[in-house]
Amino acid sequence: MKKLLSLLVISASLFSTSALAVSEQCQRIISLSPTITDTLLSLGLEKNIVAGTRYDRLPKDSHIQQIGGMLDPNYEAITLLSPTIIFADLTEDSPQKRKFDTLKFNTKLLTFTSLDEIQQAIQNIGAICNITAEANQKINEFNLTLKTTQLENKSPKVLILYSYEGDDHLTQLPQRAAGKSFHQDILEAVGGQNAYQGELNAPIMSQEGILMLNPDIIILLQGDQNKELDQSRSITTEKIHPNWRSLQGLSAITNDQVYMMKGEPTFIASPDAVIATLKSLHTILSQ
Q: What is the pLDDT along the chain (287 residues), one digit of tens a residue?
A: 333 334 333 333 333 334 437 899 999 999 999 999 999 999 999 999 999 999 998 988 899 999 999 999 999 999 999 999 999 999 999 999 999 999 999 999 999 999 999 999 999 999 999 999 999 999 999 999 999 999 988 899 999 999 987 788 888 888 899 999 999 999 999 999 999 998 888 999 998 999 999 999 999 999 865 667 777 788 999 999 999 888 888 999 999 999 999 998 999 999 999 999 999 999 999 98
Same domain, 226 and 128: no
Separation CA 132–CA 171 (nearest Å) = 48
Residue 262 maps to a domain: yes
Domain count, the chain: 2
Q: Structure pTM?
A: 0.88
- 158 shares its domain with 270: yes
Domain region containing 169: 151-285
Same domain assignment for residues 106 and 211: no
Sequence-separated (6 or more) residues with CB below 8 Å from residue 281: 149, 186, 187, 190, 192, 219, 261
Sheet of strand 49-52, all strands in order from the earlier edge strand to the far edge: 65-66, 49-52, 29-31, 85-88, 107-109
In a domain, 85, yes or no: yes
Do residues 113 and 185 both lie within one domain? Answer: no
Q: Of 129, 146, 163, at which residue does a domain stop? A: 146
- For residues 241 and 170, membership in a common domain is answered with yes
Is position 8 within any domain? no
Asked if 86 contacts 37 with a C-beta cutoff of 8 angstroms, the reply is no
CATH of the domain at 135: 3.40.50.1980
Pair 70, 132 in one domain: yes
Beta strands 236-239 and 258-262 are antiparallel
